[in-house]
Chains A and B, each alone.
Chain A
Amino acid sequence: MRFGLMGERLVALFLLGLLLFNPPILNLFSTDQVWAGIPVLYIYIYASWLAVIVMAGLTIERTREPDRGPDQPRGDPEG
């Protein structure tokens, strides 16, 4: 059950990433403004990139530990 939920969250995150990393959202940030001396677009891409990684990490790590029980479907082909 929790793995199903995790799967859904990861798919949602994937779709979010597709949205964040592509035009036209990127066009919103491609202005000539700078923030702390750095073009906004660069800050945006790196920040959203890191955010996606952190969210993926949280989703995976928070779900996986308690679920590492015998209930995890893991068919050993050699067995």
Chain B
Amino acid sequence: MLQQWFIFAAAFGYLCLLFAIAYFADKRADQGRSLIANPYTYALSIAVYCTAWTFYGSVGRAASSGIDFLPIYLGPTLVFVLCWFILRKIVRISRVNRITSIADFISSRYGKSQLLGGLVTIIAVVGIVPYISLQLKGVSTSFNLLVQYPEIVMPRAVSTIPILQDSALYVALLLATFSILFGTRHIDASEHHEGMVAAIAFESIVKLVAFLAVGIFVTYWLYDGWGALMKEALARPDIVQLFTTEKISDFGNWITLLLLSMGAIICLPRQWQVTVVENVDEKHLDRAVWLFPLYLFLINLFVLPVALAGLLHFTGGSVHPDTFVLALPMMVQREDIALAVFIGGLSAATGMVIVETVALSTMLCNDLIMPVLLRLRWLQLTQRTDLSRLLITIRRGSIVGVLLLSYLYFRLIGESYTLVTIGLVSFAAAAQFAPAIIGGIFWKGGTRQGALTGLTAGFLVWFYTLLLPSFVRSGWIAPDLLEAGPFGIALLRPQALFGLTGLDSLSHALFWSMLANIAGLIGVSLLTRQSAIERIQASRFVDAFRQTDDGQARYWRGTATVKDLEALLVRFVGQARAKAELADYARLRGFNLGKLREADANLLHFGERLLAGAIGAASARVMVGSIAKGESATIDEVMEILDETSQVIQYSRQLELKSKELETATAELRAANERLKELDRLKDDFLSTVSHELRTPLTSIRSFSEILFDNPALSDEQRREFLGIIIKESERLTRLINQILDLAKMDAGRMDWQMGWLDVKSVIEEALAASAGLLRERPIRLDVDLPDGLPAVHADRDQLIQVIVNLLSNAVKFCDPAAGRVGVSAAAERGAVRIDVRDNGPGVSPDDQARIFERFQQAGPTLTDKPQGTGLGLAISRQIVERFGGRIWIENAPGGGSLLSFTVPTVAGDARAAAQD
């Protein structure tokens, strides 16, 4: 029954069944009863990882090199164990930012750079083309093998078949058709393809069942279980060679394969599509952590028995190991199993091709073609009313283009390689995205320049060390390049770069490309500065779990009219969807869209995200920028936004400091003001006191003069007496005025000081002589105690005499009127000579002791008694003593009376006096 038409019909029927499933799932999704919103469908869809490579290639790999088909599945197992930290974060970031592809993610992370998005797209297309060609090869080989049933003849080399008779071309075209049907029926802003995911999940079941079926058939029908099969196999020396220690203890590129597959499970565009973009609920990821690895485990369970059985049955290389899976059931003429295998292989290949081309077409459209078209002003795309048809056309064209490119690669190059080797080239290309992605979600410092440099360098090295040699192998380029190096430079041989030998070509390529990639990313990132938008995006990605959705909205500083925004959205996502989304937005935030004329920053940001789903983040930003009036935030503003918190803290600290300073200043001002007021009051007091003091003698002089003037008949004796009073009062007036002048002079610093070294004893004696008249006026006993050998003091002679005279006259005034006693003594102290003047008067109360040196302040009730003296003597004395550098004070003498003392410096005062002069 396995005629060509039947096989073709079966394959076509199977693809139609797939389409029916997809159609049904889409319908259900529209009704809100999603088929894929459960973790099992999600995990099965991730199993798109298992392609023709797994289905046919693993057995081939196991048959030729033993166990190293396995690390390709162990790596993803480990990544999924760690999914909580990497995948979950990527899924969250992508959902929040409406990321539609891996190119979108990377360009978005590094400042929504269109250049970066385009670069990633190019790398992805160039890198994935071999992988898709692998699928074409798998399907066409299995088809060509099957049509010759019941014979088992290896198909002819493709290069000998005319293109139009090549089944692979028709496989490619058929797959392109279905990819278009699945992936680009309409433009959906959310970029979910529910139908496609449902079909992929179904395909995962089919390929698993088919492979398990052939495995069980081979193990338990052809042989009596594992033991029997192994026993027979291990009896063959050529097979034992594969599985004995000598061979497997050399793990060669085991670690390379493990690392590559770890990178691939995240970075392959189709894995990204199903795991990240098509994820409808983060919770599903939890269960996929163990469901997906379990799937990998099951599908690999029978690889070894099938490989062994193939080796046992097909000796001498008559059948290629990559086709053992199909050839075994054909050999024993089990048509049902053979057909199941063919369908299973078809499942594995179509699933991969559909998702991969849809993912690539999204990237090509959003990140490469649209940005270029939008830049071409003469196309006037921004003026068109509806671009969604253009978007769909571009995507469909991209799918066809990618598949034709893959076919070309298969026809020209793919022949000379096994399935797994071809696939690994693509893995190594996809791994180039890993540093930018993983670095991008955990390290804020990565810059656009760094990502560009790293990706470019890694891609170029990958191209040179891995893809170029495959061109050589297929005869495109002269083998000299590999053996002698370009231009004969041996150091640059693509498979022994810089003389590095001893590694297999894959490990060699991975080492150099990753070195260039990571070094470029980190090195350049550290040497360049992030722009504002890069900085915003970096913190949004790295802090994905800590941030809510605000923040970025502030990037849009300008505003646009709601009408403009709506028109823009309609152009890219269609009328119905744009209106519905805007209405939802308005309803959630509780405002009336009809009344709103200006779209604020938040609404613009919402529109940008909606657009990002349709045309990619970078283009969306440009489009929204084209309608937003005013500029987007400048770098300074964004820096300000970012540093706002720290700035607020800084401001408040400064404010605190200022207010403290202000407080201090206020206190100082208040104190100064108090002092000024006090001085003012003192001046007023002084003036009134001075006038009062001046008026008293003036009054008596005037009164007595008037008496003398009016009464010429006064007796001579009376006349003399009155004239005596007038003279005495005049003297007092003169003295008072002199003292006031002295004080004013001293206050103003205009006093002429004749400082010199003086003998204290002679000074005091001179002062006593000057006061002799004063002392004689009253009955006073004077005691003088002046020891010999007093040190010389540094002072102004006349002023020192005046101080002593002042103190003496003060003592005379206040001593006991009946039996007055005044004592003068001098004594040497440390660094000074102290001079005491004692009286036996009433003494001074402690309250007055402080005031007594103030101007016009006298002890006792001055208002009732007639003031004795001017009240300036002590004040002047204090000024003078302090000018000399000594000090003056009063205390109550033991045994009654008061004791006025002052000091005049001897040695220490010298320097001070000199300085003051």
Question: Which chain A residues have a beta carbon within 8 Å of chain B's beta carbons?
Answer: 6-7, 10-11, 13-14, 17-18, 21-23, 26-27, 30-32, 34, 36-39, 41-42, 45-46, 49-50, 52-54, 56-57, 60-61, 64, 68, 73-75, 77, 79
Q: Do B82 and A22 have beta carbons less than 8 Å apart?
A: no
Question: With A and B bound together, what is the CA distance between A73 and B80 in angstroms?
Answer: 21
Contact A73 B545 (CB under 8 A): yes
- B248 at the A/B interface (Cβ < 8 Å)? yes
Residues in B lying within 8 Å of A, measured CB to CB? 67, 70-71, 74, 77-78, 80-82, 84-85, 95-96, 226-228, 230-231, 234, 243-245, 248-249, 251, 254-255, 258, 282-283, 286-287, 289-290, 293-294, 297, 301, 304, 545, 547-549, 588
Question: In the bound complex, do residue B77 and residue A11 qualify as a contact, i.e. CB atoms below 8 Å apart?
Answer: no
Chain B nearest CB, measured from A31 CB (Å): 6
Query: How long is the Cα–Cα vector from A52 to B84 in the complex, in angstroms?
Result: 16
Residues of B within 8 A of A27 (CB): 249, 251
- B254 proximity list for chain A (CB < 8 A): 22-23, 26
Cβ of A53 and Cβ of B230 under 8 Å apart? no
Q: List the 7 closest A-B pairs by CB distance, nearest first.
A: A57-B290, A37-B227, A37-B230, A77-B96, A30-B249, A14-B82, A21-B74
A7-B84, A23-B254 known; A45+B67 contact, CB < 8 A: yes
Between B81, B231, B234, B301, the greatest number of chain A beta carbons within 10 A of the residue's beta carbon is seen for: B81
Please determine whether B84 and A21 come into contact, CB atoms closer than 8 angstroms: no
Question: Which of B77, B227, B255 makes the CB contact (< 8 A) with A53?
Answer: B77
- Contact A26/B251 with A56-B290, A64-B286 known, Cβ cut-off 8 Å: yes
Residues from chain A with a CB closer than 8 A to the CB of B297 are: 46, 49-50, 53
User: A6 CA to B82 CA in the complex, in Å?
Assistant: 11
| Interface contact A41-B67, CB-CB below 8 Å | yes
Least Cβ–Cβ distance between B468 and chain A, in angstroms: 30
The answer to whether B82 touches A39, judged by C-beta atoms less than 8 angstroms apart, is no
A21 to chain B, nearest CB (A): 5
Given A49-B77, A50-B297, A37 and B226 contact (CB-CB distance below 8 Å): yes
B294 near A53 with CB under 8 A, answer yes
Contacts of A64 in B (CB 8 A): 283, 286
Residues of A within 8 A of B74 (CB): 17, 21, 45, 49
One of A36, A45, A54, A74 near B70 (C-beta < 8 A): A45
Determine the distance from Cα of A46 to Cα of B258 in the docked complex, in whole angstroms: 15
Shortest Cβ distance from B292 into A: residue: A53
Contact of B77 with A52 in the complex, beta carbons under 8 Å: yes
Q: Can you identify 11 A-B contacts, CB atoms within 8 angstroms?
A: A7-B85, A27-B249, A27-B251, A39-B248, A42-B243, A53-B77, A54-B290, A57-B294, A60-B289, A68-B283, A77-B96
Q: A26-B251, A37-B231 in contact; A53/B293 too (CB < 8 A)?
A: yes
Contact B230 A60, beta carbon cutoff 8 Å: no
Measured between beta carbons, the chain B residues less than 8 angstroms from A7 are: 84-85
Query: Judging by beta carbons under 8 Å apart, are B84 and A10 in contact?
Result: yes
Question: In the complex, what distance in Å separates the CA atom of A74 from the CA atom of B80?
Answer: 20
Q: CA A74 – CA B285 in complex, angstroms?
A: 14
Q: Are A60 and B290 in contact (CB under 8 A)?
A: yes
Identify whether the interface residues of B are mostly helix, strand, loop, or mixed. helix
- Contacts A14-B82, A27-B251 given: A32-B245 contact, CB under 8 Å? yes
Contacts of B249 in A (CB 8 A): 27, 30
Residues of A within 8 A of B289 (CB): 10, 56-57, 60
B95 to chain A, nearest CB (A): 7
Choose one: B71, B243, B282, B548; the contact of A21 (CB below 8 Å).
Answer: B71
A36 nearest CB neighbor, chain B only: B227
B191 to chain A, nearest CB (A): 15
Question: Would you call B251 and A23 a contact (CB within 8 A)?
Answer: yes
Contact A36 B81 (CB under 8 A): no
Closest chain-A Cβ to B752's Cβ sits at a distance in Å of 88
**In the docked arrangement, what's the CA distance between A27 and B80, Å?**
25
Q: A46 — which chain B residues lie within 8 A by C-beta?
A: 297, 301
Distance of A64 Cα from B287 Cα, bound (Å):
9
Cβ–Cβ < 8 Å partners of B301 in chain A: 46
- Besides A36-B227, A37-B226, 14 more A-B contacts (Cβ < 8 Å) are A7-B85, A11-B85, A17-B77, A18-B78, A21-B78, A30-B249, A34-B234, A36-B226, A39-B230, A39-B248, A49-B293, A49-B297, A52-B81, A74-B282
A26 to B160, CA, bound (A): 44
Q: Is the CB of A6 within 8 A of B304?
A: no
Which chain A residues lie closer than 8 Å to B293 at the CB level?
49, 52-53, 56
Using CB atoms, name the residue of chain A closest to B609. Answer: A77
B617 smallest CB distance to A (angstroms) = 14
Task: Check A56/B67 contact, CB under 8 A, given A23-B254, A34-B230, A77-B549.
Answer: no
Take A31-B245, A77-B96 as given contacts and tell me if A17 and B286 are in contact as well, using a CB distance cutoff of 8 Å.
Answer: no
**Which residues of A sit under 8 angstroms from B78, Cβ to Cβ?**
14, 17-18, 21, 52
Contacts of A34 in B (CB 8 A): 230, 234
With a cutoff of 8 Å between Cβ atoms, the chain B residues found around residue A41 in the complex are 67, 248
Q: Could you tell me the distance between the alpha carbons of A53 and B78 in the complex, rounded to whole angstroms?
A: 9
Distance from B507 Cβ to chain A, minimum over Cβ atoms (Å): 14
Chain B proximity of A2: nearest CB distance (Å)? 13
- Select which of A54, A56, A75 is within 8 A of B80 by beta carbon: A56
Residues of A within 8 A of B231 (CB): 37
Minimum CB–CB distance for B83 against chain A, Å: 8
Q: Report which residue of A10, A50, A54 has the largest number of chain B beta carbons within 10 angstroms of its beta carbon.
A: A10
Report the bound CA distance from A77 to B544 in whole Å: 11
- Shortest C-beta distance, B309 to chain A (Å), equals 14
Query: Bound state CA distance, A22 and B712, in angstroms?
Result: 143
| Distance (whole angstroms) from the CB of B264 to the closest CB of chain A | 16
Task: Report if A30-B82 is in contact (Cβ < 8 Å); known contacts: A37-B226, A60-B286.
Answer: no
Chain B residues lying within 8 Å of A18, measured Cβ to Cβ, are: 78
A67 and B280 alpha carbons, distance in the complex (Å): 20
Q: What's the nearest-Cβ distance from chain B to residue A50, in Å? A: 6
Q: What is the CA–CA distance of A3 and B470 in the complex, to the nearest angstrom?
A: 47
Give the residue among A11, A52, A73 with the most B Cβ atoms within 10 A.
Answer: A52
B82 touches A38 (CB 8 A): no
Q: Which residues of B contact A56 (CB under 8 A)?
A: 80-81, 289-290, 293
Question: Would you call B82 and A60 a contact (CB within 8 A)?
Answer: no
Please state if B290 and A22 are interface contacts (CB–CB under 8 Å): no
Cα distance A15–B686 when bound, in Å?
94
Task: Tell me the bound Cα distance from A22 to B261 in angstroms.
Answer: 14
- Bound complex: CA of A10 vs CA of B86, how far in Å? 12
Establish whether residues A32 and B230, one from each chain, have CB atoms under 8 Å apart when the complex forms: no
B251 in contact with A10 (CB, 8 Å): no
Q: How far is the CB of A28 from chain B (nearest CB, A)?
A: 10
Query: How far apart are B66's CB and chain A's nearest CB, in angstroms?
Result: 9
Q: How far is the CA of A13 from the CA of B80 in the complex (A)?
A: 11
Partner of B82, one of A10, A42, A61, A75: A10
Closest to A77 in B: B96
Compute how far the CA of A7 lies from the CA of B230 in the bound complex, rounded to whole angstroms.
41
B258 touches A21 (CB 8 A): yes
Residues of B within 8 A of A21 (CB): 71, 74, 78, 258
Residues of chain A within 8 A of B258, CB atoms compared: 21-22
How long is the Cα–Cα vector from A60 to B43 in the complex, in angstroms?
Answer: 15
Cross-chain contact of A77 among B84, B95, B245, B588 (Cβ < 8 A): B95
A38 to B282, CA, bound (A): 41
B233, closest chain A residue (CB) = A37
Minimum C-beta distance from B676 to chain A (A):
65
B286 proximity list for chain A (CB < 8 A): 60, 64
- Nearest Cβ on chain A to B642's Cβ, whole angstroms: 20
Chain B nearest CB from A44 CB (Å) reads 10
| CB within 8 Å for A30 and B81 given contacts A56-B289, A56-B293 | no
Write out the residue numbers on chain A whose beta carbons fall within 8 Å of the beta carbon of B84: 6-7, 10
Task: List the A side residues contacting B82 at CB < 8 Å.
Answer: 10-11, 14
Which residue of A is nearest B290, CB measured? Answer: A57
Say whether A42 contacts B81, CB under 8 Å.
no
Contacting pair B81 A17 (CB below 8 A) = yes
**Nearest-Cβ distance from residue B36 to partner chain A, whole angstroms:** 19
A57 CB to closest chain B CB (Å) equals: 3
Q: A64 to B258: give the CA distance in the assembly, Å.
A: 29
Which residues from A are CB-within-8-Å of B226? 36-38
